Chains A and B, each alone.
Chain A
Amino acid sequence: MWCESRSKARKILQKRVWIAICFYVPAVLGVALWVRHHPATGGVAFGLAAIPALPVIALFVAMGLYLRDESDGFQRDMMIRCMLWGTGALLTTMMFLGFAKMFGWRGDVDQFTEFMVFGVFAAVAKLTYRVQNRVGDDE
């Protein structure tokens, strides 16, 4: 029921996602450690901050390439829907927090909350669509 054959494009996507994650983790840890021991300011700080963002860009490039290469329209449709859910939730959260601050809220949210919001909503959407479109035993 839950096993689905993966297309060639999906396999390539998974490989690319893993590669991006493999770069992301050391990038985050490396930059955090570096800044702790060598506090950076100005352009250097911006440059260091950009390093962990590069694998995220790579992640979205990988998704874009997947959408281009996936010949199974239904699977492509599902991926687009999940990304839309994640993006919608992300923009809504940012908009809400922006207005809350504008109206005088002094609180703060953890760093990278937006990234978590995107990931969680995209994952929940994927799970929901998977349940909705589950296939029974083959006839």
Chain B
Amino acid sequence: MNNRLRVLRAERGWSQADMAERLEVSRQSVNAIETGKYDPSLPLAFKIARLFGKRIEEIFVEE
């Protein structure tokens, strides 16, 4: 699944560590999600959406 996390994060000037802290996950997890190696769970996807003030489908795009 593709996503716009890296772009959204860069727009806000956050590092992966900043985002990991906000989401209460490891930086490894943020990196894995950004690179498409791991699809987040539904609760985490909602958390990400809330963090960026967007809807899930605006962040995650089905391939």
Q: Which A residues have a C-beta under 8 Å from some C-beta of B?
A: 4-5, 7, 71-75, 77, 132-133, 135, 138-139
* Chain B residues numbered 13-45 whose CB sits less than 8 Å from any CB in chain A: 15-17, 20, 24-29, 31-33, 37-38, 40-41, 44
Contact A135 B27 (CB under 8 A): yes
Q: Which B residues have a C-beta under 8 Å from some C-beta of A?
A: 10, 15-17, 20, 24-29, 31-33, 37-38, 40-41, 44
Provided the pairs A133-B37, A139-B10 are in contact, do residues A73 and B29 lie with their beta carbons within 8 angstroms? yes
CB-defined contacts of B38 to chain A, threshold 8 Å = 73-74, 77
Contact B25 A72 (CB under 8 A): yes
Contact A73 B41 (CB under 8 A): yes
CB-defined contacts of A77 to chain B, threshold 8 Å = 38
B-side binding surface: helix, strand, loop or mixed? helix
Contact B16 A133 (CB under 8 A): no
Query: Would you give the shortest CB distance from A86 to chain B, in whole angstroms?
Result: 21
A-side binding surface: helix, strand, loop or mixed? loop
Question: In the bound complex, how far is the Cα of B28 from the Cα of A4, in angstroms?
Answer: 7
CB < 8 Å neighbour of B15 from A5, A74, A139:
A139
Contact B26 A139 (CB under 8 A): no
CB-defined contacts of A5 to chain B, threshold 8 Å = 20, 26-27
